[in-house]
Structure 1
Amino acid sequence: MKNEKQDFMKDMEYIDGITIIDRNGIILFSVKFNPWFHPEIICGEKVLGKKLCSVFTNIDEDTSTLFKAMELGRPINKKRQRVANVEGEKIVTMNTSLPIKGDGRIIGAIELSKDITKYKDKNMHVIQMNSELLSQTDEMAKHLGPDRARYCLENIISSNTKMNELKYFVKKIANGKASVFIYGETGTGKELFAHAIHNESNRKKGTFITQNCAAIPENLLESILFGTTKGSFTGAYDQPGLFELAEGGTLFLDEINSMPVKLQAKLLRVLQDGYVRRLGDRKERKVDVRIISASNMSPKKSMKEGYLRQDIYYRLGVLSMRIPPLRERKEDIEILLNFFIHKYNKLLNKTIKKVSKEVYDTLTNYNWPGNVRELEHITEYAMNMVEPVDDKIEMEHIENVMKQMEEEEEMEITIKPLKEVVSQIERKLITITIQKTKGNVSEAARLLEIPRQTLQKKINNYHII
């Protein structure tokens, strides 16, 4: 980043050529000092009046830095470009292209260029492309319908010891019936492990249903999970819930710590007894479903702050797994970068094969608050920025998105209305006290030193019990 801030001409040290074109791409002036260009052929009077793209046949208006400078109306600094001479030989140039203005409008552009072909692989980090993993995922997806697990252990790519230990753990527990609790920061791959557990188990031919508990309001989430009977509320009809639909398979409850505590109590009964009752129904139905749940918060913190009942965690977390964040497994960055570059090469019709050493060092030194999902986001952004003729990612392709990520991270601590903050703290404190007193409201009111009626009202308002 420091070099990016230096004066461009000082950084170039010298130039190999100068080209000036008009608004239509007609060459008005061209001088080349490098013998490679065959200056007697592609500069001077022999090219004057010709189209730039007819002289350098492998570039067009979309890839030329001269046209880009005119289009944007500003200088394009240190832009690398691959060009071919009249004999088809290709070189890589570093260019600075500036628009030329006259009478308040852009009438052309001038470009200073330097041949950097012999340096083009210096300070580059070559990515050894391996399409096997992506092909496995694509092939699996082709043969799967809805409500099926799409990923297996082979799709969890890692060279980290802890991650490989977790993959071994999945194989050991896969055929059991005990519930699994997966926790880790956002973007670490919790859902991939949930899919893998199902696909490693003897339930793999059964249904795999995912429900994000944070995405649905409490009253609607209850009916989605347990089902409804006709007349149980206005517009209700006989409808099986997710527990019934997942019969013989797996139900994955993502962001379980966002499920209202009141609803957690109803879920606990299902986990204990194995029976589910639709809303408004008297009949109970036996269900055979394995529960996998996930949280972006540790169980200890979730229980301490009142987001997760202790009793339900002991049912959900018979087996638990912590997925380490990307900053704890930096050795995975290269293999993940490999995977994402191949993925977006295919989607964007690109041929990226390497990243600059500066880019690689930046990625490995970054803290990754968004983990693997953030790495994919940055890779996809960079590959959209790379010109179609280029085969590498350089610092100019990621600096804007990296700056944006850093600014968003700084903005995470935001000022909120005092009333909102007080309500959040009050809710947590009441929840913890109620759990400590095992639901004894009178005892909780005594500990909190408030009237019982006041506490009961707050409990109702916050839907704590």
Structure 2
Amino acid sequence: MDEQFRLSFLDVWNHSFESIILFNEQGTILSLNRPAARLFSESPSTLNGASIYELIPSEDFKKCLQKKGKTGVSILLGTKQLVANISFFENNELYLLFLKDISQVQLLQHQIQELKKTKQLFNLILDQLEEGISVIDEQGRLLFYNLKAGEMDTLEPEAVRNKRVQDVWNVDENTSTLLTSLRTRRTLHHRETKFSSHGKAITTLARTVPLVLNENVSGAIEILKDITEQKHLSDTILQLQKQGKGDLESSNSFSSQKNNTRFQFEDIIFSSREMAQSVEQARRSARSKSNILIVGETGTGKELFAQSIHNESPRKDKPFIAQNCAALPESLLESLLFGTTAGSFTGAVNRPGLFEQAQGGSLMLDEINSMSINLQAKLLRVIQERKVQRLGSTKVIDIDVRIVATMNEEPLEAIANQRLREDLYYRLGVVNLVIPPLRNRKEDLRVLIDHFITKHADLLDVQVDGVDQDVFHYFMNFGWPGNVRQLEHVIEGCLNLVYDERTIGFNHLPPIFKNKIQQAESTLSHEPLSSFSGSLPEQIERLERVMIEQAMNHAQGNITKAAEQLGISRQNLNYKLKKFQIFF
């Protein structure tokens, strides 16, 4: 029995993963197992009787032996990193040493740290790209989502990483390009127009590619490119090409070949009393020569009003010139407005400015509040004296130009924030027109939807009668931060997804738009409406107050963030805060 036990013990002793050495207080090795012999590249018989201090010449190791036992002792043996546990048996005055080679573990840990560092470096590099990048794994979880993608989708990258695509966007395997590419192993290309939290339309070109490793699909990557500016330039070129074709229309028509316009008052679609008042005021102002300031949020149709005013005015046969003041740097905008003279700066040529080109007609200055204060002072002088002087020239030119300026914020707020000179405001705002946002004239939704369906259905070769009642209900409750322009893009996008249906349904809506609808519904669902009493207007006003208070609390008193969450402009929220006497 003792012999059998001895044989079993020897099997365990020699087949252990750890190296085990038995030695006495003098350091003489009495026994060691095979892993220990292999660790020192010797045979057990050679090492028996040798000194442990010769095998492990470490002062730290000697100090540990004096403590009669210790665990987790780090020992460096040549290029090997060992960890030791030491046990001392007082009765026999013997030491039992357990050694484990952790060199490979240390190497793996080092490699993991280097991989993490490399991954962080790649993430930083990808965050600097101008393209939005989204990557999912085979389960549809977002492995990577860079800053540009978050900027386009108005999402925080850290908040969506490692989440399922379906949890981030209201999509499924058939409506998500990433999931579709993952499922079908196909590369997809598509273009989409979405809206930022400020209501600005962003057109993106997407390329979605499946990631195949060893013939297995391991995920998919989507690369989004912002082509808003390119699309704008392309549309402008197409418009100019169209203007160069065809015969002149009759003298009673306001052809774009004659004055660079496309719209007149008959093109403004509305049914609400608020819009009717704005259009009537614009018609009346068209008869005079006074400058006009049109105030309205992005997408409300300020240029449509400006062109209509020009085409209703005595100047309709003269040029209509439009310039976006936010699209160009100050020096370039100044040379465009006032013109240049050869030699005034390197590369300058004799070229008339926009004031000269619009002689006798109208000059539309879009987003005037984006023009620098310094350039606003020069513009004010031209308006006051009705004379312009090209850059680098001493010649003064008399001008007869009506200025139609537009801005997307409350003028007094722009003045207070030093984005608009007060004296320039009084010069431009001789006639003030305010275009109400779409959310304040929901009566116009029905006629606008019908108009946009008619406009785009023929071009897309589809037959659609209207929108589902529940979709129209969503539209009526949506904030429309992008106003009429956003509505048109949504309708056009829906028509692109219609196959043989006769109405636009919820599934045709863009994913971003559906997300915003669901977020709004979620906010409303948490409010106990049953506690409200009184007439419908009173209940709506109470609900509006509750939603504003919730948004302000969530934004910690930041009016800009709260306005973005509510889908309204900052100035509109300021007005409502004063109206409801909500203070933060």
- TM-score, normalization by structure 2: 0.46
Please give the residue correspondences for 1:148-297 in structure 2 after superposition, counting only pairs within 5 Å. Answer: 148-297=260-409
Task: Give distance in 2, aligned partners of 1:303 and 1:146.
Answer: 37
Task: Give distance in 2, aligned partners of 1:141 and 1:201.
Answer: 13
Closer, same or farther in 2 for the Cα pair 1:175/1:291, shift >3 Å? same
Displacement of 1:162 in angstroms is: 1.6
Q: 1:392 and 2:512 equivalent?
A: no
Task: Give distance in 2, aligned partners of 1:399 and 1:148.
Answer: 33
RMSD: 3.2
Closer, same or farther in 2 for the Cα pair 1:351/1:171, shift >3 Å? same
* Ranges in structure 1 where 5+ consecutive residues have no aligned partner: 1-68, 75-103, 106-137, 416-465
Displacement of 1:391 in angstroms is: 1.4
Task: Give distance in 1, aligned partners of 2:440 and 2:387.
Answer: 41
Q: 1:315 and 2:427 equivalent?
A: yes
Work out which of the residue numbers 318, 327, 339 in structure 1 matches 2:439.
Answer: 327
- Alignment-derived partner of residue 95 in structure 2: none
2:464–2:501 CA contact under 8 A, matched in 1: yes
- Alignment-derived partner of residue 19 in structure 1: none
Closer, same or farther in 2 for the Cα pair 1:256/1:70, shift >3 Å? closer
Displacement of 1:325 in angstroms is: 0.4
Identity of aligned residues (%): 46
Task: Give distance in 2, aligned partners of 1:261 and 1:70.
Answer: 50
Task: Give distance in 2, aligned partners of 1:321 and 1:70.
Answer: 48
- Alignment-derived partner of residue 477 in structure 2: 365
Task: Give distance in 2, aligned partners of 1:407 and 1:187.
Answer: 23
Q: 1:346 and 2:444 equivalent?
A: no
SS of equivalent to 2:257: coil
Task: Give distance in 1, aligned partners of 2:363 and 2:254.
Answer: 22
Counterpart residue identity of residue 462, structure 2:
K
Closer, same or farther in 2 for the Cα pair 1:399/1:253, shift >3 Å? closer
2:368–2:407 CA contact under 8 A, matched in 1: yes
Task: Give distance in 2, aligned partners of 1:347 and 1:408.
Answer: 33
Counterpart residue identity of residue 395, structure 1:
F
Task: Give distance in 2, aligned partners of 1:362 and 1:290.
Answer: 42
Counterpart residue identity of residue 505, structure 2:
E
Task: Give distance in 1, aligned partners of 2:476 and 2:518.
Answer: 19
Please give the residue correspondences for 1:74-153 in structure 2 after superposition, counting only pairs within 5 Å. Answer: 143-145=255-257, 147-153=259-265
Closer, same or farther in 2 for the Cα pair 1:309/1:407, shift >3 Å? farther
Task: Give distance in 2, aligned partners of 1:335 and 1:201.
Answer: 27
Q: 1:403 and 2:514 equivalent?
A: yes
Closer, same or farther in 2 for the Cα pair 1:233/1:406, shift >3 Å? farther
Q: Which has the higher contact order (CA 8 A, sep 6+)?
A: 1
Displacement of 1:407 in angstroms is: 9.9
2:295–2:410 CA contact under 8 A, matched in 1: yes
- Alignment-derived partner of residue 414 in structure 2: 302
2:259–2:316 CA contact under 8 A, matched in 1: no
The total of aligned residue pairs comes to: 285
Displacement of 1:143 in angstroms is: 4.0
Larger radius of gyration between Structure 1 and Structure 2:
2
- TM-score, normalization by structure 1: 0.57
Closer, same or farther in 2 for the Cα pair 1:282/1:407, shift >3 Å? farther
